Amino acid sequence: MKSSRFAVASHVLVVLAEHDETPVPSADIARSVNTNPAFVRQLSVPLRKAGLVQSVLGPGGGMMLARPASEITLAAVYDAVEEEPLLATHHCEPGRACFVGRNILEALDPVLEGVEGAVRAELSKHSVSSLLRAVQRLDKKR
Amino acid sequence: MKSSRFAVASHVLVVLAEHDETPVPSADIARSVNTNPAFVRQLSVPLRKAGLVQSVLGPGGGMMLARPASEITLAAVYDAVEEEPLLATHHCEPGRACFVGRNILEALDPVLEGVEGAVRAELSKHSVSSLLRAVQRLDKKR
DNA sequence: ACAAATGTAAGCACGTCAGTTACACACTGG
DNA sequence: CCAGTGTGTAACTGACGTGCTTACATTTGT
């Protein structure tokens, strides 16, 4: 099962961007995502650690963006919630008897670095606010 | 558990590129990767479907590259063995009551397309032969 | 015929993930 | 000051992907 955290986290942040400046309770967000409030709160942990959201306790509380939506790139979202590299290497150490086995991981390393960099560069082109605008544009068309 | 198929498939192809023109039995490849011969054969299925390798049955048989190593990019390897997109979307449909839920998937689509394209472009810069050269260069240093 | 290989099906163990329940804690308003 | 609202977090479950293994039919060279 592939992780959908990046997509869901983006969804959450767009909802927060829509309700600018006012806290949104996890129950409301969960209704939009169609999942459980606790799941949204769990997802909020890495987002808070990354300084993207903050929460207000007590009645009238909830989650809200910690900085302007235009200053949150999707690369930051990706970094916050999707910690592992997307292209994994061997689970078990390759056999060191063969010279390919001895060096393949090191040879593959710059390739995987490059991929990771390309992904981050591509995601840097978008922000939460641009994603919100895209959502609004699509909704108008209906 | 993240998929390591791309890394292992690259490993296999580099081994095949080293033994140019002569078939390599799956048992030999498995020794280099440090895994099971049957697992290598399973991995060979998508590679054969993609026209990257071919196999020779019977004694003295095995797997070999179906075309020159310099003409097999790592993007082709990726396409062959890693069919699903690396960044998944929501597992369950978002709630259509909220206008964000109605449009988020469609809005996210071009972003994910862009990521996929960036990955493929980055992987196109490398080939099986360039990877083999990197392995050889690293081994000389030891 | 025999042995060396592949191709493939079936199944196991383990890890990850989404989803859920439960509960302690924090804050606000009356 | 206390009832209600909401967060933070731990624990658990079920589903699924993945690596790995066993097993067996099939092909082919000597």
pLDDT in tens, B32-87: 999 999 999 999 999 999 999 999 999 999 999 999 999 999 999 999 999 888 99
Q: How many CB atoms lie within 10 A of CB B124?
A: 13
Which residue of chain A is at minimal alpha-carbon distance from B114? Answer: A122
CA-based nearest distance A84→chain B, Å: 9
Tens of each residue's pLDDT in chain A, 142 residues? 889 999 999 999 999 999 988 999 999 999 999 999 999 999 999 999 999 999 999 999 999 999 999 999 999 999 999 988 899 999 989 999 999 999 999 999 999 999 999 999 999 999 999 999 999 999 999 7
Please tell me the number of Cα atoms within 13 Å of A75 on its side-chain side. Answer: 13
**In CATH, what number does B5-86+126-141 get?**
1.10.10.10
- By residue count, chain B amounts to 142
User: Options 1.10.10.10, 3.10.180.10, 3.30.160.100, 1.10.340.30; which CATH number does A5-85+127-141 get?
Assistant: 1.10.10.10
Which residue of chain B is at minimal alpha-carbon distance from A119? Answer: B115
B71 and chain A in contact, CB less than 8 A: no
Closest residue (CA) to C1' of nucleotide C6 is B57
- CB–CB contact A121 B122 (8 Å): no
The C-alpha atoms of residue B119 and residue B106 are separated, in whole angstroms, by 21
Give the three-class secondary structure for A112.
helix
Strand D bases within 7 angstroms of protein beta carbons: 4-11, 15-23, 26-30
Q: Indicate which of B87, B123, B129 best probes the interface with A, i.e. most A CBs within 10 Å of its own CB.
A: B87
The residue extents of the domains of chain B are: 5-86+126-141
- Whether B46 CB is under 7 Å from strand C: no
Give the distance from CA B24 to its chain's centroid. 19
